Amino acid sequence: MASTARRDAPEPPDFGILKRLARDQLIYLLEQLPGRKDLFIEPDLMSPLDRIANVSVLKHEVDKLYRVENRPAPSTSDQLCFLVRPRVRTMRYIADIVNADKMSGRSRKYKIIFSPQKFYACEMVLEEEGVFGDVTCDEWSFYLLPLDEDIISMELPEFFRDYFLEGDHRWINSVARALQLLNSLYGPFSRVYGIGRCAKMSYELWRDLEEESENDGQGRKPEIGNIFLMDRDMDYVTALCSQVVYEGLVDDTFRIKCGSVDFGPEVTSSDKSIKVLLNAQDKIFSQIRNEHFSSVFGFLSQKSRNLQAQYDRRQGMDIKQMKNFVSQELKGLKQEHRLLSLHIGACESIMKKKTKQDFQEMIKVEHALLEGFDIRESTSFIEEHIDRQVSPIESLRLMCLLSITENGLIPKDYRSLKTQYLQSYGPEHLLTFHNLKRIGLLTEQAAGETLTAVESRVSKLVTDRAAGKITDAFNSLAKKSNFRAISKKLSLIPRVDGEYNLKMPPDMAYVFSGAYTPLSCKIVEQVLERRGWQGLEEVVRLLNGNEFAMADGAPEDGAGGDAQRVVVAVFLGGCTFSEIAALRFLGKERGCRFIFLTTAITSSARMMEAMAEAKA
C-alpha cells in the first residue's frame, strides 16, 4: 500500500482498567444501601452495563432487576435503587413511585444513582414533586465504555441533539471529566489539538479540572502522546454519505448497538436471532471490518475454501493425529466456521436490501453532489425518491447532502422539496425541517442578504453585549457550509487516472469508493503532519475557527517513544464507522495508532432521527 520502510503501529493501551473501575464503583454504590433491594435500570443503560458487569455481579445484594418504564413499579421490596440517566422525565417517574407509597402509607428507602453525573435540574424536579428529602442521590462516574481495543464510547447519543440543536452545554462537564480520567490513566498527553466551539469549551474545562486536582501523574511514562478534539458540525458531509465499508454497512443495515449486533433469521438461516459481539476478537470480522464492501465476498469465499481444506486434513490422519486435531484445532475451526457463515449471511442480507433500494444509483447521485456535477439531475432523483416514498429518513438525508454541498438550496428548490416531502410523508415532519434549518443541515440560500447585514440591523436595536449573544444565535441559524471551497483547498475529491484501486487503496478516500476523502480525517491528517494549524488558516476560516493547539513539554521528533505515535481522536457529537476505517488506514500508513473516543457511534440515519420531531 505505502512505502516498505513504514513502521508498525504501536499496540493500543489496555483499556480494560476503565471497565474494572466502573464495575468496582457500581458495586461500592450498591453496597451503600445495605441489605436486600430491587434495582431499576434505565433501558439505555442496559447494554453498556452488560459490557462491564454480568448479572451475577448485579445480583450482589439485589433481589430483582426491573426496567424503568412508563407503567407503575411492581416491586415489593423495602429498598428501591434506581440506576438512571439524569433526565427530567425519569425524575417524575421516581417521584410518582415515592408519592404513591406515601399515599398508601408505605415506608421504603430510595436511592438514585445517576450516570454519568447528576444535574441540578434533576434535583429541582425532585424538590418540586416534594420527594427530595425522601431519596438519597449518588453519582456513578461511568464516563467511558471501551467497545473495542481502539474504540471508547461515552454512550451519550443525546449529546448531538442537546448541544448542536438545543445549545445545551450540560454534557461538556462529562466530556471534560472523561478527558481528565483518560489523562490520569494513560497520559499526560503532550500535544492537544482541536477545532470547534464545543471542543474548545471541553478542553478549557478539562484544563481547569486538571489545575484543581493534585496531578500525581508526573513522572509516569505516558501511553498516549497526542489528542485531537473535533466537533461533529465541522464535518456533516461525511456523516451524511452512504457507508460502503463492511462495518459501516452492517451498522446501517442491522444497527450496531454498544459494540454488538442482532442478526435475525435472514442472516442466521434459522428461526432465531443471534447477538454477536463485533470486535477484534472476532478473527473473521477483524479482517474485513475496514474493507470496501466489494472486496468482502472474495475474502469470505477464499476463507471458506481454506477452512474446508483444514477440515479435509482429517481424512489421512491416524488415531494419535486425530486425537490432537480434535483436542487442539477442532473447537477453533468450528467457531471460525460459525462466524464465517454469519458474516456471509450478513453480506447476502445487505446485498438484498441495497439492491431493493437502488443503492448504486444513490451512490452515483451522492458522488455527483460531492463533486458538484449534475445538480439538476440529482435534485430530480431526490424528488423521485420522495414521490416513491422509499424512506423518510433517506429522503431527508439526500436533501441535507444537497443543501450542505451547495451551501444551501435556492428558495424555489427548498420550497418545492419541502412541500413534496410533507405531502409524501405527512405534515407532522414540519418541525423536523425547522430543526434541520436551525442546525445548518438543510438551509435556504438568502436572496442577496448576508449574515452581516442581519447582524448590523440587530446591533442597532440592542446593546453591544446582547448583540453578541444574538450574533452567536444567528451564527448557528445561518451557518454557511463552505463545502466546495474547503473541498478544493484540501483536495477532498481525489483525481485518479483510470480506475480507483479499492483492493489496494492509495488513500483514505477508499471508504467512499475513491470519490471523497472524509473532511474530518483529512483535517486530523494535516494538523498532525504540520504539528499545528500553520498553513491551514484559510481552511480554519472557512470552518468558522475555534481551533487550538497546545504542546505541554512535548518531546522532539524521535523522543517520547511509542506514546508519541498514539493519537486519541475525540469526536464530539458522534463518529461514523467510515471515519474510523479511514483513520485506521492512515495509522497503518504512518505507523501510528488511532484511538477513537466518541460521545456515541453515529450514522446518517441516527443524525436524521435525532433531528426528527415525528417518528420517521
189: CATH: 3.40.50.1910
- The residue type found at 366 is E
Domain boundary among 141, 170, 195: 141
My answer on whether 117 and 151 are in the same domain is no
Residues 311 and 333 placed together within one structural domain of the fold: yes
Q: In a 3-state reduction of DSSP, which class is residue 41?
A: strand
User: What local confidence, expressed as pLDDT, does residue 486 receive?
Assistant: 94
Instruction: Return contacts of 347-354, CB within 8 angstroms, 24+ apart.
Output: 347/293, 347/296, 347/297, 347/300, 348/267, 349/253, 349/254, 349/266, 349/267, 350/249, 350/250, 350/253, 350/293, 352/266, 353/253, 354/249
Please tell me whether residues 118 and 211 are part of one structural domain: no
Cell of 569: 481522536
Measured CA to CA, the distance from residue 543 to residue 536 in angstroms comes to 11
pLDDT the model gives residue 460: 45
Domain contains 29: yes
Flag whether 472 is in a domain: no
Residues 125 and 185 in one domain: no
Predicted pLDDT of residue 456: 45
Spatial separation of the C-alpha atoms in residues 375 and 397, rounded to whole Å = 16
State which H helix or E strand residue 194 sits in.
strand 191-195
Residue 277 exposure: Cα atoms within 13 Å on the Cβ side = 13
Nearest Cα to 259, choosing from 273, 243, 275, 278? Answer: 278
Collect all residues with Cβ–Cβ distance below 8 Å to 201 and sequence separation of at least 6.
169, 172
Residue 463 falls inside a structural domain: no
Give the Å distances, CA to CA, from 55 to 31, 49, 73, 547.
16, 9, 20, 44
- Residue 53 falls inside a structural domain: yes
Is 178 in the same domain as 255?
no
Give how far Cα 84 sits from Cα of 56, 128, 191, Å: 20, 19, 35
Q: Which domain holds residue 441?
A: 356-406+408-448
pLDDT value for 545: 80
Q: Are residues 210 and 165 in the same domain?
A: yes
pLDDT at 485: 93
* pLDDT value, residue 331: 57
| Residue 155 and residue 44 share a domain | no
Specify whether 39 is located in the same domain as 136.
Answer: yes
* Residue 607 pLDDT: 96
Round to the nearest angstrom and report the end-to-end CA distance of the chain: 42
Q: Where are the alpha helices (DSSP H) in 313-374?
A: 319-324, 330-356, 359-371
Alpha-carbon dihedral angle through residues 408, 411, 417, 419, given to the nearest 10 degrees: 140
From 321, 336, 354, the end of a domain falls on 354
pLDDT in the model for residue 76: 82
Give 137: exposed, middle or buried? Use CB within 10 Å, 0-12, 13-18, 19+: middle
Q: Chunk the chain into consecutive blocks of 10 residues (it has 616) and report each block's average pLDDT, rounded to whole numbers.
A: 56 91 91 88 90 77 83 80 93 92 90 93 93 93 94 95 94 95 89 95 94 69 91 95 95 93 87 89 90 88 76 62 59 76 90 83 93 92 93 94 94 95 94 94 76 44 47 49 90 86 90 94 94 93 90 59 87 96 94 95 96 71
The b/e string for 431-457 (b: 16+ C-beta within 10 A; e otherwise) is ebbebbbbbbbbbbbeeeeeeeebbee
Last residue of a domain, one of 424, 448, 472: 448
pLDDT value at residue 42 = 92
Answer yes or no: do 529 and 542 share one domain: yes
b/e for 53-65, b at 16 or more Cβ within 10 A? beeeebeebbeee
Note whether residue 10 is domain-resident: no
Q: Are 131 and 24 part of one and the same domain?
A: yes
**Does any domain span residue 497?**
no
- What was the pLDDT predicted at 23? 92
Q: Do residues 229 and 127 both lie within one domain?
A: no
For residues 347 and 290, membership in a common domain is answered with: yes
Sign of CA dihedral 102, 106, 109, 115: negative
Distance CA 506, CA 2 (A): 8
- At residue 208, the pLDDT reads 93
pLDDT at residue 218 in the model: 59
Domains identified in the chain, total number? 4
Residue written as grid cell 469549551: 201
CATH number of the domain residue 26 falls in: 3.40.50.2060
Residue among 345, 365, 155 at smallest CA distance from 242:
365
